[in-house]
Amino acid sequence: MSQRSEKEKEIKDIWEKKSKGLIIPEITLAYDNNFQEYYVYEDRSTILYLYLERTNVSFAIPKMYCEKKGNVYIIMDIFALIPISCPKKNKYQNFVQENIVPKITTP
């Protein structure tokens, strides 16, 4: 099993065990062209909401700037990422910040 698929499985397991009624995104990982990793916390019809790995910085990006490849999204234009700087986090942001960001590490 590849390192990426192990991480995908680990993230899915956390969502399934701890999300308590939240809608689990079908795809939980995204990468940009510099191989920066992002955790998908909401997947809407035209917009993705992401956390940059090992941070508490969240972004929104229109899906038209992403390509779905297998079980991940590839961010095709990092300049399309829109920082979300609202001090009040929603339940999805809180979930990822408390359960996924501190548990998942990139070697």
How many other C-beta atoms lie within 10 A of the C-beta of residue 63?
14
8: tokens are 């995908």
For strands 82-84 and 47-52, give the pairing: unpaired
The encoded tokens of residue 34 equal 């510099």
Please tell me what DSSP assigns to residue 80: G
CA distance 33 to 81: 13
Which pLDDT does position 101 carry in this prediction? Answer: 78
What pTM did the predictor assign? Answer: 0.80
pLDDT in tens, 3-42: 667 888 888 899 999 988 889 898 889 999 999 999 999 9
pLDDT score of 71 more than 90: no
